[in-house]
Amino acid sequence: MDNKQFDAFIVADLCIDLLFTGTVRPKYGQAEQLIDDYTIDLGGSAAIFAAQFAKLGGKIGLLAKVAEDLFGNMLKDKLKSLGISTTYISTDPSRKTSVGIGLFDGKDRAMLTYTGTMLATQPEDIHKNHLNLTSHWHIASYYLLTQLRSFWPEFLPQLKKQGISLSLDTNWDPEEDWQQVQEILPFVDVFLPNEAEARYISGKNDLLESGKYLAQYCGMVVVKCGADGAIVFRNDEIQSFAIPAELTENLQIADTTGAGDNFDAGFLRNWLLGKSLEECIHLGIRCGTASLKAIGGIEGQLNLAQG
């Protein structure tokens, strides 16, 4: 890493997460059901990534907008408490702050999102001088931030000309129009899809075929496979990494929200420090596994400052 202000910079899908756990599934017809627990916390893939990256000692810059409302103030206060700069967080009085609602039933989770201010950050808000702030750019929630999709193919060549590395985690596509992202893959140094996303984006049913296909375009593809660990595709090489037994022994999963984003932060923190692939994967898995122990993507995060 160099002497830039930030080690990584990201346009954030910033939102408040309202997360519930319980062995129930929603029922219409005014049926009332009881849940086990809930939490209200910082949400959005980019924000979860940023929080974990900061807890690993990285300096992270966020570009985002919130509303002038209760949730907007909560988000800014939470970022400050995590030591994350709010310099590039502005307000949009014409919208409500974004909200994500999640329900984890012990095996799977359902998610609802009110986009609100996360769609307020427009291409004209991203300036060339942002490139002078960082040596790495991370794109999260490519599909959710619909207003930026046509912007990335124009902007990323400028980023690469300045020697700035790029990572990408698309997250899920609510519209399931998966192939559009392929046009920016040649600019990506590290692509971090989960297993389902890799299959849908590549159009291949077989995971290994999916990874090999995507690796033709990206510098490296790291496919997150949940309890099965991760598979890395680089050039013609394929390497599989299992989750170490000591990380899952007596593990009680409270919630899976943000596990993939936390993996991304751990992997990229070590990758940007020039660590070996094994070290990158190991820290990614530690971060992803740690986050499973608490509701939401933030509270269970690995904090190296605390051991």
* pLDDT number for residue 118: 96
The token pair that represents 125 in the structure block:
């808000």
* pLDDT number for residue 129: 87
How many contiguous H segments (helices) and E segments (strands) does the chain have?
Answer: 8, 13
* pLDDT number for residue 307: 53
**Cα(173)–Cα(150) distance, rounded to whole angstroms?**
16
Pairing outcome for strands 221-224 and 230-234: antiparallel
Among 54, 59, 72, 49, CA closest to 118: 72
The token pair that represents 82 in the structure block:
């995590």
Tens of pLDDT along the chain (307 residues) come to 567 999 999 999 999 999 999 999 889 999 999 999 999 999 999 999 999 999 999 999 999 999 999 999 999 999 999 999 999 999 999 999 999 999 988 888 888 999 999 999 999 999 888 999 999 999 999 999 999 999 999 999 999 999 999 999 999 999 999 999 999 999 999 999 999 999 999 999 999 999 999 999 999 999 999 999 999 999 999 999 999 999 988 888 888 889 999 999 999 999 999 999 999 999 999 999 999 999 888 999 999 866 5
* pLDDT number for residue 248: 87
**Cα(6)–Cα(62) distance, rounded to whole angstroms?**
10
* pLDDT number for residue 4: 92
* pLDDT number for residue 306: 65
